[in-house]
Structure 1
Amino acid sequence: MSESIKHSSSEPWHKTLLPPDATLQQAIMSLDASALQIAMVVGPGNSLIGTLTDGDIRRGLLRGLDMQSPVASIVNREPLVVPPHLEREMVLQLMQANKVRQLPVVDGQRCVLGLHVWDELLVPVQRPNTMVIMAGGQGMRLRPYTERCPKPMLPVGGKPMLEHIIERARGEGFQRFILAVHYLGHMIEDYFGDGSRWQISIEYLREETPLGTAGALALLHSKPDVPLIVTNGDVLTDIHYGELLDFHNHHGAAATMAVRLHEWQHPFGVVRTSGVDIVGFEEKPVIKSHINAGVYALDPSVLDHMQKGEHCDMPTLFGKLQERGLRAVVYPMHEPWLDVGRIDDYAVANQKAES
């Protein structure tokens, strides 16, 4: 489930409300008081009659209206409106498609519940959740590139892969990051430091020996109060980390794994048999399966099922949770995704960055 926007009685949009007998002068005062560039004309119970902007007022004055004229003569009685709890991304798409910067929120009886404002929606909601990035792998399949450089620090489009991941998450409101480092980890620490250059906080988990794609989580200094996002440091994707987190919370899961549909075409015709009898043919069938995308959301309680210093990969951890009766779910993702694990993958990543 994507993030929805909530409104409270203390929000500035209350200053935009006008009665139907308000004058143009009162409308101007409302526009100045709210600074939201819209006024909403409402009847009993805050039922929406229509909206108006400073442009509507100017056109009315040009038609011969004066400051004491009622707003009823210039109000737009069929404004675009949306229901409450509509996903943020959908609200932004509607506003962009209809070229509006304000969008009233109403219930089934057209009672005004809030107001979406374009500039405010573009500012990411700050999230208290920590993102843990597994950045300790040796990248053996990417030799010779990784002989003197840790895999997550390999440049793509002029900056390290790890920086792409951090900046994308930062753009979604994540401010606290923990990097699990091992192989040439000092290079990662020297580059990112405490994260202040990106106006974020970065801490480090230092693996004495490789602990797998999940094992470093047992090194966390304290158990967080809210779910974690965990990602491999070599996964470049346009996934919305916040939406993954919202999906995880909505389903009440202990662990959520982002998965991607992978299609593979068999190079040969397949013969289906029963014993020695032929029962069917498939000419080069396409096999579809969900693959692990290397991005996860984990409830803090998951850490209770891990041992400090023990090697553990994510699939093993998910299996352990299921054995203990805890819910593990998948988050199907459709966004661009690339696991930069081989030299060919690295070449593709740079080609995409240049295009």
Structure 2
Amino acid sequence: MTILDSILLGPDALIREALTKIDAGSSQLAIVVDAERRVLGVVTDGDVRRGLLAGVTLDDPVDRIMNRKPKLASAEAPDEEIQALMRREVIHQVPIVDENRRIVALRTVDTFVAAERLENRVVLMAGGLGTRLRPLTETVPKPMLSVGGRPLLETLVQSFIDQGFYRFDFSVNYRAEAIEEHFGNGYRFGAEISYLREEEPLGTAGSLSLMAERPAAAFFVMNGDILTSINFRHMLDFHKQTGAAATMAVFEKGFDIPYGVVEVEGDRLVTIREKPTHNFFISAGIYVLEPKVLDRIAPSRFLDMPDLFARMIEAGEAVSAFPIREYWRDIGQHQDLDRAEQDFPRVFAGK
């Protein structure tokens, strides 16, 4: 099987199969073709996530979410034309087809230029008290607690670095000296690290007012007490595609109701559901913001990120939700820390 063959599938294939091809291949997409290998559509990570938000499941057919009008290039097109198409459409891959729309190749941005580091800044919130994790946090700041043999914050930093990001701001307050002593200016990690030093807690959004300079492009804000295998490049691409001012990563959680839930109409009992599970999307503590969002943050005033998003929604700003399908765990309590320690070897093997 060729590399191209490995990313092809039919329209009746399941979304789960497309996802396997997307995650396994360097091209980061699957191409849907008919029996004659004519291109019917393409599926990207963003298509899958938008489908999940709309209520589809991984066991639905792929034609429910595929892009039926993908950008294609002719097999006769010169490299300059294909590169121009990628820049214009802000895409990383272009299927190459013959005169009958049959797939003959796939060109990716990596075939033109070497992978380069991304200039988008990453702000990591590392100033919390970690009250629920005492006594562990009486001497160690929560982001510096060990998971998998190294500080949680170091795993976050390394995940971003592995994906091409290298410019960091750490928002610090409680026991900041432990964090600064471990990371310094970031040189030994292959990164550039600056510090936003809170004199008093400013919240997950308020401390952004301490940034020395306004970012030139969309930037990440992330809580420093999260363990996740999320693909940050996918989230950034998703944010750009939606054209939103801000994007919030969300994670689906199920909550069991330990009682029989009844529905009534007037005095009539209509239905009974015994111990149902309700699923909700919760904020995952990972955000992408456009620089203009900083105009909504008053200097040195307490503000949490959910409140900032609520203000933007009320003002009619476009905000989007990015559903996480990868591993995610908020390290808020002792049982979360224990579970993360158990999960680490499986989720982060070799990293």
TM-score by length of 1: 0.68
Aligned position for 2:96: 106
Paired position in structure 1 for 2:67: none
123, 139, 144: which one aligns with 2:130:
139
1:242 counterpart letter in structure 2: R
**C-alpha displacement at 1:4, in angstroms?**
7.5
| Match among 266, 274, 278 for residue 283 of structure 1 | 274
How far apart are the structure 2 equivalents of 1:115 and 1:255? 30
Identify if the C-alpha distance between structure 1 residues 273 and 226 changes in structure 2 by more than 3 Å, giving closer, same or farther.
same
- Report the Cα offset of residue 275 of structure 1: 3.7
What are the Cα deviations for residues 198-217 of structure 1, in whole angstroms up to 9, with x where unaligned?
A: 11100000011111111111
Q: What's the offset of the Cα at 1:105? A: 5.6
Contact 2:223/2:286, CA 8 A, preserved across alignment: yes
The code of the aligned residue for 1:302 comes to V
Partner of 1:174: 165
Q: CA deviation at 1:126?
A: 1.6
Aligned counterparts of 1:251 and 1:108: Cα–Cα separation in 2:
31
* Structure 1 residues 324 and 164: CA distance shift in structure 2, 3 A: same
The residue aligned with 2:146 is 155
Separation (CA, whole Å) in 2 of partners of 1:182 and 1:270: 45
Structure having the higher Rg: 1
TM-score, normalised via structure 2 length:
0.69
Matched, 1:128 2:119: yes
2:215 aligns with 224
Q: Which residue is equivalent to 1:348?
A: 339
Specify whether residues 108 and 263 from structure 1 end up closer, same or farther in structure 2 by C-alpha distance, changes over 3 A only: farther
User: What per-residue deviation string (whole Å, max 9, x for no partner) do you get for residues 215-263 of structure 1?
Assistant: 1111111211100111100011111111111111111101100001111
CA distance in 1, matches of 2:107, 2:268: 67
CA spacing shift, 1:287–1:163, aligned 2, 3 Å: same
Instruction: Kindly provide the CA deviation profile for residues 273-301 of structure 1, in whole angstroms up to 9, marking residues without a partner as x.
Output: 23433121111111011011110000000
In the alignment, the residues of structure 2 paired with residue 128 and residue 108 of structure 1 have an alpha-carbon distance, to the nearest angstrom, of 37
The amino acid that maps onto 2:189 is W
Deviation at 1:86, TM superposition (A): 11
Distance of aligned partners of 1:86 and 1:313 in 2 relative to their CA distance in 1, 3 Å threshold: closer
Other-structure match for 2:235: 244
> After TM superposition, which residue ranges in structure 1, 4 or more long, deviate above 3 angstroms?
2-5, 45-48, 83-88, 107-118
- Which consecutive unaligned segments of at least 5 residues does structure 1 have? 6-44, 49-82, 92-103
Over 3 Å counting, the alpha-carbon distance change for 1:340 and 1:47 in structure 2 is: same
Q: Give the 3-state SS of the residue equivalent to 1:261 in structure 2.
A: strand
How far the C-alpha of 1:125 sits from its partner, in A, is 3.9
Given candidates 181, 184, 190, the residue that maps to 1:190 is 181
Report SS of the residue matched to 2:139: coil
| Superposition map of 1:1-355 within 5 A | 47=76, 106-109=96-99, 115=107, 125-355=116-346
Counterparts of 2:320 and 2:107, CA distance in 1: 34
CA–CA separation in structure 2 for the residues paired with 1:271 and 1:307: 47
Given that residues 118 and 166 in structure 2 are in contact (C-alpha distance below 8 angstroms), is that contact kept between their aligned partners in structure 1? Answer: yes
Root-mean-square deviation (CA, aligned residues, Å) is: 3.1
Inter-partner Cα distance in structure 2 for 1:307 and 1:169:
28
Identity %: 40
Question: Following TM superposition, by how much is the alpha carbon of 1:332 offset from its aligned partner in structure 2, in angstroms?
Answer: 0.9
SS in 2 for 1:190: helix
Gapped regions of structure 2 (runs ≥ 5): 1-21, 29-73, 78-84, 347-351
Total equivalences in the alignment: 266
- Whole-angstrom distance in 2 between the partners of 1:322 and 1:340: 28
Amino acid at match of 2:230: I
Q: In 2 relative to 1, CA 182–334 (structure 1 residues): closer, same or farther, beyond 3 Å?
A: same
* Whole-Å separation in 2 of the counterparts to 1:237 and 1:169: 11
